[in-house]
Amino acid sequence: MATDAHNPLQTLEQVFGFTAYRPNQEVLVNGVLAGKDVFGVMPTGGGKSLCYQLPAVILPGCAVVLSPLIALMKDQVDNACAMGIKAACITSHVTLDEKREIARAYRDGTLDLLYVAPERLALGSFIDFLQQRPPSFFAIDEAHCISEWGHDFRPDYMFLGELKNLFPQVPCAAFTATATEKVAIDIKTRLRLHDPVAVRASFDRTNLFYEVRSRTDGNQQLLDFIQDQPQGSSGIVYRTTRKTVEETAEFLSRNGIQAQAYHAGMEAGERTKIQDDYIRDHYQVIVATVAFGMGIDKPDVRFVVHYDLPKTIEGYYQETGRAGRDGDPSRCLLLHSSSDVAKIGYLIDLSEEDEEKKRNWALLRQMDRYASSSVCRRKSLLGYFGEVYARENCGACDVCAGHFKEIEATYEARVMLSAIARTKQRFGSAYLCEIVTGANTDRIRSFGHNELKTYGLGKGKPRPYWRRLIDALLAENYLVISEGEYPVPQMTAAGQALMKGEGEFHLREDTRIEPSKARKNTTAANDDPEYDQSIFEVLRKLRTKISDEESVPPYVVFSDRTLRQMAAYQPKNESEFGRLHGVGKAKLERYAEQFLAELNAYLEEVPELREKAVAIKRV
């Protein structure tokens, strides 16, 4: 479907139904169209796929997209085809006749996008096939998988480093949602990108509300949280083991939640069916190990819950990013228990080599500090990726929403800092808490630490308080964790100044009672007008009917945002319908008649709702 290369905005509107780019898309699109390598680090939901789909439609020939999972490829192909883009994927599920037809379309130049897995690309026969007619460009999705420093390294991605040798004239476009600066450099080096047009977008997902709660009664806390969501909201609950996945799914089902378990121990066919049913809204909640999610393109996930502590901040950010990909308000809850650190640490010690063990322990401690601290969640997350969040109050996390109160803790902070100094900054957090609370242990007596002036000065408060204090001092940069085989808290210059009497220190304590009503503090990432919920439900039922008939996910037909605009603007004809968000030429021709008929039939039954119609505009 080659279109006018000099007017990509026209293609953007006619094919994708958008009148403007989202932030950072234009520079990457133009880079690909100019025949350059590009590298985009953009958050989940930031519109990465358009950055290669739009150039693929415009440029002659076919773009080859490297994607890690079959389900992800299938979803993207379904979505592209619904917009009139000529797209296909070659997977183990494709029949021999289908593969031959795809190969013919590729050779004839009638295909815009061809999705394949890295393992298939590495086959010599497939390379020979591509070299007969080189692609317009390679698009590498989930590019962090090529980096051993990334959170989801995959050995099969390593072959992609050979693309520049095999196809020296073909540009590469690499995209990832999560990459520290170190991982980003590693990706560019391994892929041998030549002076790429690079974009490192803000990692801030303004529509996500982040919260952390101490896990006390995890099942009841989870149930309360889900029941607090708007009716029918889709969500994902992450657990660490297959056993706990099944137990949690069973618990939710017993309590009236349409929940289903998903983990790697299931048969492949069963997993595929469960994922497809969830994408098509047959289940409300999926309880899964982290194996679930990377291959899902469902934009209307309204909440993500981590029942257990994730191993890394990078993985946590990637997983929470599966909520609210459509830009609507969504919530991310982490239930935190310090006992999780010991469980994960035990597995790290059993299975890792020394260097790997050291690195994974450091990542785990960072994750634990994030969950233990009471500073702005957004500030902490963005800081991990090297981004400075300038606002004092993000307004979209439990800390900034006022769920914590500040208490004076200057004296206690100085006691702890003094204990660290008097023990020569050589001991871990748990041991320091034992010293200040006056624990009578053989270890303390053997070191003579029961003779320290700080010994027992904090016995009026429990050890968990002192552990939270250390976490807060770390979060506010009064302490840092040392490097080496036995990382321990050590004072910064600010910590030494505080210990010597300069300044004050306040600790934040959680004031919430279950269940939280935090969703009221979220803000939508769009400015759609008011709409009647009953109209929306009528349109949603029609969308479900069409999606079932066509065997595609509902969002492939239309997004929730398009349905909301339909309910608000109440278009009267195809011309007005075509001005809705996400309605391109193909979808206008395919669906307008059905939705207009359904909308008008309902409004005839309830004519007073016509008075609520908003003057239509193109968004």
Q: What is the pLDDT of residues 581-605, one digit of tens each?
A: 899 999 999 999 999 999 999 998 8
Determine how β-strand 259-262 pairs with β-strand 197-200: unpaired
- Give yes or no for a contact between 156 and 146, defined as CB atoms under 8 angstroms apart: no
Residue 35 covered by a domain: yes
**Of the candidates 316, 319, 291, the residue with the CA atom closest to the CA atom of residue 235:** 319
Element (H, E) at 10: helix 8-11
- CATH number of the domain at 563, please: 1.10.150.80
The last residue of a domain, from among 467, 495, 510: 510
Residue 416 covered by a domain: yes
The last residue of a domain, from among 397, 417, 440: 397
pLDDT tens-digit profile of 316-328?
998 998 999 888 8
pLDDT tens-digit profile of 6-41?
589 999 999 999 989 988 899 999 999 999 999 999
**Of the candidates 208, 564, 148, 175, the residue with the CA atom closest to the CA atom of residue 359:** 148
602 and 487: one domain?
Answer: no
The domain tally of the chain equals 4
* pLDDT the model gives residue 596: 95
CA angle, 234 then 238 then 241, to 5°: 140
The residue-averaged pLDDT of 249-266 equals 93
pLDDT tens-digit profile of 524-583?
445 567 888 899 989 989 998 999 899 888 989 998 889 989 999 999 999 999 999 899
**Of the candidates 373, 376, 383, the residue with the CA atom closest to the CA atom of residue 402:** 376
249 and 176: one domain?
Answer: no
- CATH number of the domain at 412, please: 1.10.10.10
Look up residue 245 and give its two tokens.
């996945």
Residue 548 covered by a domain: yes
Q: What SS3 state is found at 415?
A: helix
355-to-129, 146, 315, 485 alpha-carbon distances in Å = 41, 19, 20, 10
177 and 98: one domain?
Answer: yes
Q: What SS3 state is found at 287?
A: strand
311-to-181, 187, 210, 317 alpha-carbon distances in Å = 19, 22, 17, 11
- Give yes or no for a contact between 100 and 147, defined as CB atoms under 8 angstroms apart: no
The last residue of a domain, from among 374, 397, 420: 397
Average pLDDT, the chain: 87
73 and 12: one domain?
Answer: yes
**Of the candidates 387, 314, 333, the residue with the CA atom closest to the CA atom of residue 208:** 333
568 and 540: one domain?
Answer: yes
409 and 381: one domain?
Answer: no
160 and 227: one domain?
Answer: no
Single-letter amino acid code for the residue at 510: D
| Distance between CA atoms of residues 327 and 284, nearest Å | 19
Parent domain of 275:
208-397
Q: Is the pLDDT of residue 522 over 50?
A: no
- Give yes or no for a contact between 546 and 557, defined as CB atoms under 8 angstroms apart: yes
